[in-house]
Structure 1
Amino acid sequence: MGSFLARARRVRAVVVMAVCTLAAAVALPAAPAQAAAHDPVLFVHGVWTDGPTTWTDMIADFEREGWDPASLQMMNYNTAQSLEDSAAEVVDEVAALRARTGAAKVDIVAHSMGAPMVRWYLKFLGGTQYVDDFVSIAGGNHGGIGTEFCAPVQPSCQDMLMYSPFLQALNSGDETPGPTTYTALWSSCDEFLNPDSTALLDGADNIWAGCLGHVTMVNWPQNFVRTENAVA
């Protein structure tokens, strides 16, 4: 009899422990979900009279949305030199950003003249293996930028003329090569681009931003949202 009671007590203890363990497991709060890691972003300015400060407001917007400031990098370059020379500098900028952050790939956001320059890097300098997403904002992708905005003798200005050898080579064949995803934001009131459709890219997600000026395109709040969505 005593042996039977002892066994019953042991069985009951085991059952109680199992029930308590199950209840504790159910009561434990779920582990917080880890925020999705973002690719680092390289910002490339355009406009001959402009510079990296083009991106001050947009980068502040990214930081406000929780992006790591260390992953947001502005590029500077000599806007008078040929766009092929500038594209070669993108190689080093991307390599430096990847090395600093440990990321396998980066995203690139470019404005105006910076867009075709980055596209040269993507198409001819192996960039598509290192760039996940590319966003062109008011990019002069097919020329049409008036020479009144730069000295006609500057190589970059010559490259941006419609039907220049640079643009003919860039736009021959696939305009959006490789596994990189392409987004092009364009305005129907861009005073720098003529025609406005020069900003579009075959194979890209072409998004009309409304009637905005060339420089305003960078700082327009909705364009930040569109850009963040494109690189998220």
Structure 2
Amino acid sequence: MQRHKRRIVTALSATTASLLLALPLTAAPAHAASHDPIVFVHGISSSASSWDDWVADFEADGYSSSELFAWSYDWTKSNATTAQQLAAEVKSVLAQTGASKVDIVVHSMGALGGRYYLKNLGGTSYVDHFVSVAGVNHGTSVASLCGWLYTSCKEMQTGSAFLTALNSGDETPGSVAYAAYWSDCDEAIDPDTSAELSGATNVDVGCVSHTDMNNDHGVYEQVHDFLS
């Protein structure tokens, strides 16, 4: 009798094991695909809304709205002041998202505050990718038109003390991945190649106007691929 019971139990155990093995494996709950949060920095005489098209593009390509931060600041101030405010913004984004690093995407004069943050304020510890789009990285003759009005614009003038210090030594410090996208018909950057960065992935996107550089979809696709 006992032997018969043992045979039944053994048979049931074997059947149960077979059924369990036949069941599809259930993976742990999947989290939504995560990315480094992106902090977008606009240029002179602009605002966070200048990134609306790209924010929509990133969302269409799988980013959540909680990973995209188009940031506004007082563009009339020194780019060193902007860099300090950017440092606070990055810390806030990291606290909100729980991420360890952000990606920074800048346009035009926004490159100066962003690069100052990386070079002088410890930003390389918190930034994974830095993307300069039509950045005034080595100055522009056009800045002479507004240099007498705003400190920020004076700092964009070719050969300014601000740019000389910013570009001394390594232009792409730390382990950050750098890219600079520039147009060969940029009416605001003179010369056009001033937008390049030594040590970065420098990309001539062709003839795209300065104001269209950060909403052009073709440029967006290249930036998206770089961040990916």
TM-score, normalisation: structure 2: 0.90
Partner of 1:41: 38
1:173 and 2:172 correspond: no
Partner Cα distance (2:216, 2:180) in 1: 15
Distance 1:99 1:19 in 2: 48
Distance 2:124 2:65 in 1: 24
Of 201, 205, 208, the residue aligned with 1:209 is 205
Structure 1 gaps of 5+ residues are none
Give the whole-Å Cα distance in 1 for the aligned partners of 2:12 and 2:216: 67
Distance between the aligned counterparts of 1:217 and 1:230, measured in 2?
A: 16
Matches within 5 A, 1:1-232: 7-24=6-23, 27-28=24-25, 34-46=31-43, 48-147=44-143, 149-232=145-228
- Deviation per CA, 1:128-156: give whole Å up to 9, x if none: 11111111000010112413652434211
Q: Note the C-alpha offset of 1:160.
A: 0.6
Secondary structure at the aligned position of 1:93 is classed as helix
Q: Residue 52 of structure 2 aligns to which amino acid in structure 1? A: T
AA aligned opposite 2:77 = Q
Secondary structure class of the residue paired with 1:107: strand
Deviation at 1:163, TM superposition (A): 1.2
Residues 18 and 51 from structure 1, CA distance in 2 versus in 1: closer, same or farther, beyond 3 angstroms? closer
**1: distance between equivalents of 2:74 and 2:12?**
78
Q: Rg larger in 1 or in 2?
A: 1
Distance 1:14 1:93, change over 3 A: closer
* Change over 3 Å in CA distance of 1:127–1:189 after alignment to 2: same
Q: 1:99 to 1:19 in 2, by over 3 A?
A: closer
CA RMSD across the alignment: 2.1
Superposition deviation, residue 200 in structure 1:
1.0
**Structure 1 residue 52 displacement after superposition:** 1.6
Distance in 2 between the 1:131 and 1:30 partners? 32
More off after superposition, 197-206 vs 141-150 = 141-150
Shift of 1:23: 1.6
Q: How far 1:114 sits from its partner (Å)?
A: 0.4
Deviates more, 1:213-222 or 1:73-82: 73-82
Q: Taking structure 1 as the reference length, what is the TM-score of the superposition?
A: 0.88
Q: Once the two structures are superposed, what CA deviation does each residue of 1:143-200 show, in whole Å capped at 9, x if it has no partner?
A: 1241365243421122111111111111111111012111111111111111111111
Change over 3 Å in CA distance of 1:138–1:34 after alignment to 2: same
State the shift of 1:12 in Å: 3.4
In 2, Cα distance between equivalents of 1:31 and 1:78: 46
In structure 2, how many angstroms separate the alpha carbons of the residues matched to 1:99 and 1:14? 51
Tell me: CA distance 1:11–1:90, structure 2 relative to 1, closer, same or farther (3 Å): closer
Q: Percent of counterpart pairs with the same letter?
A: 44
Q: 1:139 to 1:70 in 2, by over 3 A?
A: same
Aligned length: 228
Shift of 1:61: 1.4
